[in-house]
Amino acid sequence: MDFSYSEEQQMLKESVGKFVQQQYDFDTRNRIAAGGTGYSEENWKLFAELGWLTVPFSEADGGFGDSAVDLMVMMEEFGKAMLVEPYLASVVLSGRLLAALGSERQKAELLPMLMAGNLQLACAWAESGSRYNLANVRLSARSEGGRIILDGTKVNVLNGPSAGKLLVTARESGGAAEREGISVFLVEREANGVHVRNYANLDGGRAAKITFSEVEIPESARLGAPGGAFEALEQVVDHATVAICAQAVGALDSLLQKTVEYSKTRKQFGAHIGSFQALQHRMADMFMECQLARSITVMAAMQLDSSDSAHSKAAAASAAKSRVGKAIRKVGQEAVQIHGGIGMTDELDLAHLFRQVTGLELLFGDADFHTSRFARLQAAV
């Protein structure tokens, strides 16, 4: 049993930490987020140079090793700094889905470009009526004379506005929420019939609602076997779920730290508000939530890296997201409350941390969703 970081993980942590401290202060971050693409091309090139874009890929695919614990180390630092670059959407989610489903030829064509920072990807999995059910895919894919025709709409396509290529889940056969019959297709964002409506999300990142109107693509655009993508999709999303738990853990620590610091300087009734027991106990509770969220994220990341069954890994991911989701609600709301009026303002980084974690709370399923999923998985043991 060992809970310390390896030398490589320590270096990764320091590398990200140094970048964030020296080149990613709150004002810089806000400037980047408000810019045209919502992220910095320059930073993305730097991430590639530093090797960060290779972290969640196996050595066989030319990556750093695809360890969930390595990824956790990075995501935690990203969370503290509220990084807006589309690392999760493009690399962790889309890149790993491509690595899981793509043929050797498809991977050889795209993964090196992705890891070199020359390609942005987005994954279009959610639909207006799907909520958090990954199997609820209605966007249709029908074969016509050796071509595939896509028709339907996706929502919350993270990094949709900037992605050169989209990974789109589509139904080739079966009923609306069946696990069988779902495929993933690679679609050029500029293809005919693809309509992208851009918007910013709560967390400062960019997303899109994308409509596919009779979009024609070749058979070769399919990743993996026809109708057989669900299992890989679920595992990739579980992995990304634990990654955002780590991102949240970093952000929650920042929220707690900023709240404690503020309570030591803000005076009311002639005393620092941190000297009031009513607030002290609430901050003690925030501390506990941060610790529990960290513990269960560590547990899940280690389980993803183990040789356990996919079933156990899914249960671990859901346990983590459920518990972290509760911690987010508690720590985020208390941080704003203890700051009082100033905590409401857009000027303060606190509000942006709160917005970030609120986004993470819902992404890939909220606490209730994951508790129910965990319960179903437990009952099926």
Partner 1 sequence: MNADFAPEELAFREEVREFLQNEFPAELREKVDAGIRLSKDEIVRWQKILHEKGWAAPNWPVEYGGTGWTATQKHIFAMEMGLIGAPEPVPFGIKMVAPVLMAYGSEEQKQRFLPDILQSNVWWCQGYSEPNSGSDLASLKTSAVRDGDDYIVNGSKTWNTYGQYADWIFCLVRTDTTVKKQEGISFLLIDMKSPGVSHQPIYLMDGHAEVNEIFFDDVRVPAANLIGEENKGWTYAKVLLTHERTNIALVPRSTRRLRALRRAAASLDDGFGGSLLDDPVFSHRLANLEIELKALEYTELRTLASLSVGKSPGPESSILKIVGTELAQRIDELFVELAAYHSLPYLPEQLEEGFQGAPLEPGIPSGQGLVYLNNRKLSIFGGSNEIQRNIISKAVLGL
Q: Which residues bind partner 1 (CB under 8 A)?
A: 1-6, 9, 69, 260, 263-264, 274-275, 277, 280-281, 283-285, 287-288, 291-296, 298-299, 301-302, 305-306, 319, 322-323, 368, 371-372, 374-375, 378-379
Selection from 148, 128, 147 nearest residue 138 by Cα: 128
Nearer to partner 1, 225 or 380 (CB): 380
- Nearest one of 277, 269, 233, 254 to 332, comparing CA atoms: 254
Q: How far is the CB of 81 from partner 1 (least distance, A)?
A: 22
Q: How far apart are CA 259 and CA 323, in angstroms?
A: 21
CB 177 within 8 A of CB 186: no
d(CA 85, CA 364): 19
Q: How far is the CB of 281 from partner 1 (least distance, A)?
A: 4
**What are the Cα distances from residue 353, in Å, to 69, 217, 259, 300, 339?**
23, 40, 12, 23, 13
Compare residues 170 and 316 and give the one whose CB is closer to partner 1: 316
| Residue among 28 and 257 whose Cβ is closer to partner 1 | 257
Query: Which tokens hold the place of 306?
Result: 């183990």
Burial of 57 (0-12, 13-18, 19+ CB in 10 A): buried
Query: Helices 230-265 & 349-362, crossing angle to 10 degrees?
Result: 150
Closest C-alpha to 248, from 355, 91, 134: 355
**Spacing of C-alpha 130 from chain mean position:** 18
216 vs 137: CA distance, rounded Å: 18
Q: How far is the CB of 353 from partner 1 (least distance, A)?
A: 18
Query: Is the CB of 61 or the CB of 289 nearer to partner 1?
Result: 289
Supply the minimum distance, in Å, between the C-beta of residue 77 and partner 1.
Answer: 16
Closest approach, Cβ 280 to partner 1, in A, equals: 4
Q: How far is the CB of 320 from partner 1 (least distance, A)?
A: 8
Query: In this complex, which beta carbon is closest to partner 1, that of residue 72 or of residue 167?
Result: 72
Q: Is the CB of 27 or the CB of 269 nearer to partner 1?
A: 269
Amino acid at 282: R
Structure tokens at 27: 């004002």
Sign of CA dihedral 98, 104, 106, 110: positive
Query: 150 vs 328, which CB is nearer to partner 1?
Result: 328
- What length does the chain have? 381
User: Given the complex with partner 1, which of 6 and 128 has the nearer CB atom?
Assistant: 6
CA distance 212 to 168: 10
Q: Could you tell me the two tokens for 182?
A: 């779902």
For the CB of residue 323, give the shortest distance to partner 1 in the complex, in Å: 5
- Which residue, 4 or 192, is less far from partner 1 as judged by CB? 4
3-state secondary structure of 335: helix
Query: For residues 189 and 282, which CB has a smaller minimum distance to partner 1 in the complex?
Result: 282
149's enclosing H/E stretch is: strand 147-158
Report d(CA 56, CA 78) in Å as an integer.
Answer: 15
Beta strand 121-124 with 140-144 is: unpaired
Q: State the minimum distance, in angstroms, from the CB of residue 152 to partner 1.
A: 31
Shortest Å distance, C-beta 260 to partner 1: 5
Q: Least CB distance from residue 380 to partner 1, whole Å?
A: 11
